[in-house]
Amino acid sequence: MAIPLVNLSRQHEELHDEIREAIDGVLERGDFVLGSEVTEFENEFAEYCETKHCIGVGSGLDALTLTLRGLGVGKGDEVIVPANTFVATALAVQHVGATPVLVDHDPETYAIDTHRLSAAMNARTKAIIPVHLYGHPADMDTIQTFAQEHGLITIEDAAQAHGARYKGRRCGGLGQAAAFSFYPGKNLGAVGDAGAIVTNDDSLAQWLRTARNYGSAVKYKHTIRGFNTRLDSIQAAVLRVKLRYLDEWNERRRWLACEYGKLLGGTDLILPIERDDVEHVYHLYVVRHDLRDALLSRLQQHGIQAGIHYPVPIQTQTAFARGCMTSGPLTHSNTMCDQLLSLPLCPFLSLDELEEVAHVVTETLALAKQSEIKTAVS
C-alpha cells in the first residue's frame, strides 16, 4: 500500500460530481477569462479571509510580484524575507528589481526570527515578507510593530496558510496585503496553477485588477503597462467547490497532526509546535532528526512518500548567487535543511496510513539506537 505525501486523487474522487458540474457550467457559459466564477470566488475568498478585496491571478509567484510592484517596491529597494521558504518569496523580490535580504528562522516555528529584523534593516529597506511556513502563522504582532516603527510595507506570503489564524484573525488580513497560491497541493488547491491577493487597501486592489489584465480596467483602454496573469474561470469554479470544504479539511489536518504527535511523542524526533493563540493548518507536517536521510530512504522502501521542505536553502541556489543578500548568520537554515522531513499529511490520509508511517519511523529510530548501543559495547 503506497502512501503519497499528498493524496489528491482521493480528494478529486470524493468531489468528482461537484467539480464536473462546476467545470461544465463554465464550458456552457464560455466565459473562460475573468468570467462570473472568478468574481464569485473572489467575493467568497475575500469574505473567508476577512478582507475587503480578493484579486485572482495566475499563480502565487505572480500574486507576490504584482503586489510588490503595486506597492511601489522596485530597483534600489531591499526586502526582508526568511531564508527558509520556497524560492518564490525571494524570487518575486528579484523580479521587481529589488534585493531580497535573507534572515534566519525561529527553530521552533520555522518562521522568520523576529529578533533578527533590526540587523537586517537599513535606509534602503522598503518591505518585509513574512511567510506562514508549513501553515504556522509568523509572529505578526512583532513584525507589524517593527514594520510600523520603520515605515515598512508588510506583505504576507500566505501560500501555505489558507485558513490559519493568528490571535483569532485569519492569515491574509494581517498586513497591507497577502499573496496566496492555489497550486494543487496547497490546503486550497486548484487543478492547475492559480493564485490570489487579498487586501483591505482599495487603491492597491484597483491597481492589481488593472495590472493583471493588460493594464486595462476598461476594454482597450490601457492606463498602465500591465500583465496577463488572470485567474482562469475553470480554476475559480473548482476553487469555489473546494473552498466549501476548507475548514473541515483543516480541522482534519489538525486532528491528524495531533495523532502523529501521540504516536511519535516518545521518540527523539523534533515535532512541529503550535504557539499559543495561533491556529496551525499543517500544510506540511515537518519533523526534524539527524538521521533524516535514513528515515527518508526507509520510508521509501515501505512505499511511503515523505518530502523535504526545503533541501537546498535559497542562499546556496545558483539563481540567487547575485542580487540577493543575507543578514547575519543563517545557521538554522544552513543546518536544518539536512534534518527536515515532511511526513505524509493531507485531509485524505487515513488513520491506518498514518499509523503505518509512524510505525516505520519509530522502528527505524529504534533500530538506529540498537546499532548505536551495539557499536558502543563492541
Nearer to ligand PLP, 55 or 264 (CB): 55
Q: Is the distance from CB of 328 to CB of 120 less than 8 angstroms?
A: yes
Residue with cell 522502501: 301
CB of 371 within 8 A of CB of 305? no
Residues 147 and 319: their CA atoms lie apart, in Å, by 28
Give least dist CB 206 to ligand PLP, A.
23
Polymer length in residues for the chain: 378
CB 66 within 8 A of CB 181: no
Q: Collapse the DSSP code of 105 into the 3-class scheme (helix H, G, I; strand E, B; otherwise coil) and give the result.
A: strand
Query: What is the three-class DSSP state of 216?
Result: strand
Minimum CB separation of residue 92 from ligand PLP in Å reads: 8
- Phi-psi sector, 168: left (phi>0), alpha (psi -120 to 50), beta: left
For ligand PLP, the closer of residues 181 and 364 by Cβ is: 181
Nearer to ligand PLP, 85 or 233 (CB): 85
Q: Which residue, 193 or 353, is less far from ligand PLP as judged by CB?
A: 193
The angle at the Cα of 77, spanning 102 to 183, to the nearest 5 degrees, equals 55
Least Å distance, CB 111 to ligand PLP, is 11
Least Å from the CB of residue 73 to ligand PLP = 16
Smallest separation (angstroms) from ligand PLP to the CB of 133:
7
* C-alpha separations of 88 from 39, 144, 182 in Å: 26, 22, 14
By CB under 6 A, name the binding residues for ligand PLP.
59-61, 85-86, 88-89, 131, 157, 159-160, 181, 183, 193, 195
Instruction: Name the residue with the smallest CB distance to ligand PLP.
Output: 60
Residue among 173 and 195 whose Cβ is closer to ligand PLP: 195
Q: Which residue, among 366, 167, 352, 159, has the nearest Cα to 256 in the 3D structure?
A: 352
- As measured in angstroms, the least distance from the Cβ of 60 to ligand PLP is 2
Q: Which of residues 327 and 342 has its CB atom nearest to ligand PLP in the complex?
A: 342
Task: Decide: 173 and 162 in contact? Cβ < 8 Å.
Answer: no
Nearest to 150 by CA among 129, 127, 176: 127
CB 306 within 8 A of CB 296: yes
For ligand PLP, the closer CB: 269 or 340: 340
Q: How far is the CB of 180 from ligand PLP (least distance, A)?
A: 8
